[in-house]
Structure 1
Amino acid sequence: MPNREKNKLQQSLKTRHVMMIAIGGAIGTGLFLGSGSAIKSSGPSIILSYLIVGIITFFMMRALGELILSAPDNTSFITAVKKYLGDRVEFVVGWTYWMCWLSLAMADLTATGIYLKYWLPSLPQWVGPLVIILILLIINRLNVGLFGELESWFSMIKVVAIIALIIAGAVMIVFQMHIGSYTASLTNIVSHGGFFPRGMHGFLMSFQMVVFAFVGIEIVGLTAGETADPEKDLPKAINSLPIRIGLFYIGSIIAIMAVQPWNEIKATSSPFVQVFGAIGIPAAAGVLNFVVLTAAMSATNSAIFSTSRSLYALSKSGNAPAKLGKVSSNGVPKYALTFSSLILFIIVILNYLMPSKIFDIISTVSTINFIMVWLIIICCHLKYRQNNKNNLNVFQMPGAPWTDWLTIIFYLAILVILFVIPGTRIPVLISLLFILCLWLGYGFLSKNKRKIR
């Protein structure tokens, strides 16, 4: 039965919802749009990049799952951070995570305005984001179960598109179908410069976009407080991650480069659109434009959910105004939801006033902030294991603590790479400055405001 106790989140998410939310978090615009430029810059070695990042992401998700299931009062990973790393770190990670999803939503809302212009060329770019924010705000205010249902359908559209690409690619490879001047074959993957045609430099540079493809996957860690059976649903969702990575990421990238040689793929458009167009499906561009539009709407929908729940958790710990911790009669944190949605309207103004290049800046800042949050999750897991050596729960992270340290080293290496790249150095500095301001700003909070309510 849903929990309708005053100021408690409603437990309306079903097993199916949690599974599809996890899938939706693993498939986003990074795969549908960003994979084109990543393939162009690294070649076939991007397959290895996805495999490595996928394994590291799985370790992070297992650490997240163990943290949340370690105690029944851990309604999200933010709650666990407070318990093991303290109130200051919870303040920093809570507001950083809020900014992660806010910036990611702004980037995706900008993308929706661009996608809608495919069908309505004369439509101002700011109109799409405005309408989508209003629609998703209304849906999220009604019921968390409705959010889960909507996200399930968004995720299903993305899954169907990827499976269709993989099946079409497999058929073309088996029958050695001709596309223009080349033939669909697995040899296309390595017959144009080998597996590392861009060398180690290109391979390392691919991690920037590959990591971006995984941002948001930890959103399943915010559903515990609104899941009827988290002990069953969360492990199931997290353990299915390797299969999703293998099928959706690596499978689709292999299909793309087998149908079209990697050096024939353009970086300026979605490789999914290019492959469906090469196959000869007349409505490919329109169909794929609809898919990437729903992918962007899915990310925005997830952002509205996660930002409101982050503010709810912060409010309950006294690190945000108490009003943001109040919920409506149907168990939705209405004030936190409204506040986050109102902030999103900034992107409507920016789309009206500023050029479209703002997408790259916002998405990069979001990616860096997500890495920061993932690092804190792993550090929190290490502290939990240290404090509970003889009382660990059954859903343990494999190989801990060595896998914890491996994950930390990897994410720190990615931050170094992003700092070295001239185009992403400024976003790295902006993100670090933002986190430093939060760390120092916590010291200016009064004792009464930090007091747990």
Structure 2
Amino acid sequence: MTTPHATPAEGGYKRSLGTRQAQMIAIGGTIGTGLFLGAGTGISQAGPSLVIWYAVAGAVLLLVVRALGELLMYRPATGSFADYAREFLGPFWGYATAWTYWITWVTTGMAEITAAGNFVRYWAPGFAQWKTALIALVVLTVANLITVKVFGELEFWFAMIKVTAILGMVLIGVGVLTLGFSSAGNTASVTHLWADGGIAPHGVWNSLMTLQIVLFAYQGVELVGVTAGETKDPERSVPRAINTLPVRFALFYLGALLVILSVVSWSEFHPGTSPFVAAFVKMGIPAAAGIVNFVVLTSALSSCNAGGLYATSRMLRAIGLNGHGPKALARLTSRAVPRTALAVSSVVMAAGVGINAIDPDHAFTYITSASTGGAVLVWSVILVTHLRYHRAVREGRVAAPSYRMPGAPYTNWLALACFAFVTVLIGWNRDTRVALYVMGVWVVLLVLGYLVLRTRATGGADRGDAAPQESADPALLSRN
């Protein structure tokens, strides 16, 4: 029987992230522009029923993270999605998962830095959007280049701003509902949740079509897996971060939306308008638009920082280590920072600013749809990988960790069925259908790229050269 592998510094990284930072990175990863901005479009389409879909999607993603948590306790690893997929599904799936996760967050980062440019124009209308995007990208890249501890501290405070804003809105909203203060107290009522045209005023089908928006809002929930290899005492901090997810989902998503929709009728929300701004204005909070604009700006920077730069650089380095990309990507600085991988992610992300210049009206929809498609693919791979791991545990080939996914393997299949249904919905909608075209092209590129790698590896072996290794992690080399 093989026991779980754990190394003090996996893959050359230093465990510099404390429990406090790991907790806040997990929180920051699940609160982004999808909630602060995307919820406005979702509410206008689904009405109060949007809360139901946030609850359903949250429950499904809890299963994904619990499956990932069990894998992490088997062997904490940075770049874990690809490592586990390669170990239990095969080399191609490790290769495909790593590259897909990388491109998913790069496209998300493109949207976030462009959004940051839009938000800054609220205070400085004459300042070019691309300049803000470039400044934000450079500052965040430099912060990530210093040490992982600096990244963790920056992300901690980004997350604190978002959490404080949501908690403040919830508390004030509850005060309006119970005490009736401010002008909003005259019309605020929980009956808004069902009295203004019903729970799903535009019909159940139109309501279901918002699931793509909802899943994008949750993107980043898997970041706890990316940070595991650089977290102090992951056996304690990772389960703790995962176990608090239900409370965070209930408070930051369900609680916030329930309060907003009780204070302000769903019919007053419009696509492209932040529901938080509308709620703050309705409650008479001074400079409400400016406050929320600042919060959404930090939210965009947080998403770019944690996912767009940190996660992509770690996954890109794993690609270099495993021979599925240039070896230069695997280099670490003396401070254990993957500088080359970080620089590549940053440069590619900067190129995405041009998408908004070409088609600013649809760029955000296109990018987020493609990003959600990639996230669904990665989440599905995590679930399937866990199924194979679960079988290995039953057969006695690997040891079972103390932290377990509830209901496996049945809950795995339930979550996979939900993702398949969301994929159908994405293809049904004309505006989001482009994501399936993009993913189709991406899959073809992945297959072609892998065939090229295998051909080169075979050719190198024939010449007596060293073939690309499947993993540079010693833990992975000691497979069953």
* TM-score of the alignment, normalized to the shorter chain, above 0.5: yes
Q: Structure 1: any 5+ residue segments left out of the alignment?
A: none
Paired letter, 2:314: R
What's the CA shift for 1:208? Answer: 1.5
Match for residue 434 of structure 2 among 416, 423, 426 = 426
1:407 maps to what in 2? 415
Tell whether the 8 Å contact from 2:81 to 2:98 is kept in structure 1 after alignment. Answer: no
Paired letter, 2:54: Y
What SS class does the counterpart of residue 135 from structure 1 fall into? helix
TM-score (norm 2): 0.91
Aligned mates of 1:138, 1:349 — CA distance in 2: 22
- Residues 52-72 of structure 1: CA deviation (Å, up to 9, x unaligned): 001000000000111121125
- Residues 296-345 of structure 1: CA deviation (Å, up to 9, x unaligned): 00011011000100011111111111111110001111111111111112
Aligned mates of 2:376, 2:47 — CA distance in 1: 24
Tell whether the 8 Å contact from 1:74 to 1:80 is kept in structure 2 after alignment. Answer: no
Aligned mates of 1:181, 1:94 — CA distance in 2: 50
Tell whether the 8 Å contact from 2:102 to 2:312 is kept in structure 1 after alignment. Answer: yes
Q: Which 10-residue stretch deviates more, 334-343 or 69-78?
A: 69-78
- Residues 345-365 of structure 1: CA deviation (Å, up to 9, x unaligned): 203444555535322211111
1:383 maps to what in 2? 388
1:317-396 paired onto structure 2 within 5 Å: 317-351=322-356, 355-389=360-394, 390=396, 391-396=399-404
What's the CA shift for 1:440? Answer: 3.2
What's the CA shift for 1:75? Answer: 5.8
Structure 2 residue 450 is matched with structure 1 residue 442: yes
Paired letter, 1:192: D
Aligned mates of 2:386, 2:8 — CA distance in 1: 31
What's the CA shift for 1:280? Answer: 1.1
Paired letter, 1:358: A
What SS class does the counterpart of residue 210 from structure 2 fall into? helix
Distance 1:5 1:198, change over 3 A: closer
Distance 1:405 1:388, change over 3 A: same
Aligned mates of 1:148, 1:292 — CA distance in 2: 19
Distance 1:178 1:141, change over 3 A: closer
What's the CA shift for 1:432? Answer: 2.4
Tell whether the 8 Å contact from 1:176 to 1:183 is kept in structure 2 after alignment. Answer: no
What's the CA shift for 1:255? Answer: 0.7
2:464 maps to what in 1? none
Distance 1:346 1:104, change over 3 A: same
What's the CA shift for 1:425? Answer: 1.1
Identity %: 39
Aligned mates of 1:379, 1:63 — CA distance in 2: 10
1:163-182 paired onto structure 2 within 5 Å: 163-177=167-181, 179=183
1:38-437 paired onto structure 2 within 5 Å: 38-72=42-76, 76-177=80-181, 179=183, 183-302=187-306, 303-351=308-356, 355-389=360-394, 390=396, 391-437=399-445
Aligned mates of 1:204, 1:121 — CA distance in 2: 37
Tell whether the 8 Å contact from 2:369 to 2:434 is kept in structure 1 after alignment. Answer: no
What's the CA shift for 1:77? Answer: 2.3
What's the CA shift for 1:80? Answer: 1.0
Tell whether the 8 Å contact from 1:60 to 1:377 is kept in structure 2 after alignment. Answer: yes
Q: Which 10-residue stretch deviates more, 82-91 or 182-191?
A: 182-191
Tell whether the 8 Å contact from 1:7 to 1:326 is kept in structure 2 after alignment. Answer: no
Aligned mates of 1:154, 1:214 — CA distance in 2: 17
2:475 maps to what in 1? none
Aligned mates of 1:67, 1:27 — CA distance in 2: 24
Paired letter, 1:65: G
Aligned mates of 2:38, 2:355 — CA distance in 1: 22
Tell whether the 8 Å contact from 1:364 to 1:424 is kept in structure 2 after alignment. Answer: yes
What's the CA shift for 1:278? Answer: 1.1
What SS class does the counterpart of residue 325 from structure 2 fall into? coil
Aligned mates of 1:428, 1:352 — CA distance in 2: 23
Tell whether the 8 Å contact from 2:228 to 2:234 is kept in structure 1 after alignment. Answer: yes
Tell whether the 8 Å contact from 2:97 to 2:381 is kept in structure 1 after alignment. Answer: yes
Aligned length: 451
Aligned mates of 2:292, 2:336 — CA distance in 1: 36
What's the CA shift for 1:426? Answer: 1.6
